[in-house]
Amino acid sequence: MTEPFATSSRSSVGLEWELMLADGVTGDLVSRAPEVLDGLEERTKLERYTVTGELLTNTVEVTSGIGDTVAAAVDDIADAIAAVRTVTDPLGIELLCAGSHPFAQWFDQGITDKTRYHTLIERTQWWGRNMMIWGIHVHVGVDDVHKVFPIINALAVYLPHLQALSASSPFWAGERTGYASNRALVFQQLPTAGLPWPLKDWSEFEGYLDDMIATGVIHDATEVRWDIRPAPRWGTIEVRACDGMSTLPELAAVASLVQVLVEHFSRELDAGRDLTTIQPWFVRENKWRAARYGLDARVIVDPDGTQIEVTTHLRETMERLGDVAADLKCAREFAGLERILSQGASSTRQTLVADASDGDLREVVQHLIREFRAGPTLREHLASLGH
């Protein structure tokens, strides 16, 4: 089959952020997304952003318009959250985000009444019902279809970095998992989810789609759920590996890293240079290490098997690609990565709260609610960086 790749502006940015709905007092998830969405339908239909439902009725997803900069896309997200709060605040519903809810149980959650979701659950059964996971998706525009898979394969080297920065699912169904990102290992249980196959070019991807459609695994390209995937309809590469970010400045920082990496790789290809990739077995090992250890992980960064602390490699990358960030007008958001590196990702903050409250996971949820609501806006955060 022929799968057209849409035209998009090079290195443009789109963001998707999945948010939990919780009772403000108990912290329990509430299955009230249909009610929230009904209340928003009229007031948001002409906006750049969208607010939609997801698999579970305890979730809403906010999506930006196409931004020339990370800041523009994040502004859309902030506007969407403000709109959602006009409905949720009067109902006593709080918003929060992490890769998992610390104590919720799958059997208490409702499924959104759409055929594609019922079909997914029917096929995947227990694993599908256990998809109590929240993430972010970062789209970056690519100007040439022939660049798509070289860039995806190069981005795979940085998957553990993105996982570690966003790690926010140390608890699962009331248990301390010992993983910084339990979500990363749960999500890959779905058909077509997990690491991307190391395909060489677009024609191999079209062959993959032919095989998967012919055997009834998928109906179209939207059902490919890789950690990094092409989004042909939008003309983008979509990074889906990250846990849900707990604050807006962190979302902006991680989005800037994705944008900078894609633009850097695109420039390298323009200059006729090959991109660094590593063996698929190294990519797989890195994913597990980042899920287990988060920002404490050592990762494999080249085909020779060189291992380095993920924080050290991130700082080296930030130093090397600072000029690209400046060109993309996301230098301040890019600098925000240092705050995560120095203060820890959400998974660290959650475990500290749990330790301080004798393991009371309701306190962890209240921490996440406070952080999401009272944490700095992006503008305040950038101002504090002094740039």
pLDDT in tens, 55-70: 889 999 999 999 999 9
Average pLDDT, integer, range 113-135: 84
pLDDT of residue 126: 83
pLDDT of residue 111: 84
pLDDT of residue 131: 82
> Does residue 376 register a pLDDT over 90?
no
> Does residue 130 register a pLDDT over 50?
yes
pLDDT of residue 383: 54
pLDDT of residue 381: 47
pLDDT of residue 181: 98
Whole-number percent of the chain with pLDDT over 70: 97
pLDDT of residue 114: 81
pLDDT of residue 347: 97
Average pLDDT, integer, range 75-86: 95
Q: What is the pTM of this model?
A: 0.95
> Does residue 90 register a pLDDT over 70?
yes
pLDDT of residue 379: 52
Of the pLDDT bands very low, low, confident and very high (cuts 50, 70, 90), residue 1 is confident
pLDDT tens per residue, range 18-42: 999 999 999 999 999 999 999 998 8
pLDDT tens per residue, range 216-257: 999 999 999 999 999 999 999 999 999 999 999 999 999 999
Of the pLDDT bands very low, low, confident and very high (cuts 50, 70, 90), residue 387 is very low
pLDDT tens per residue, range 308-334: 999 999 999 999 999 999 999 999 999
pLDDT tens per residue, range 188-204: 998 899 999 999 999 99
Whole-number percent of the chain with pLDDT over 90: 86
> Which CATH number is 13-385 given?
3.30.590.20
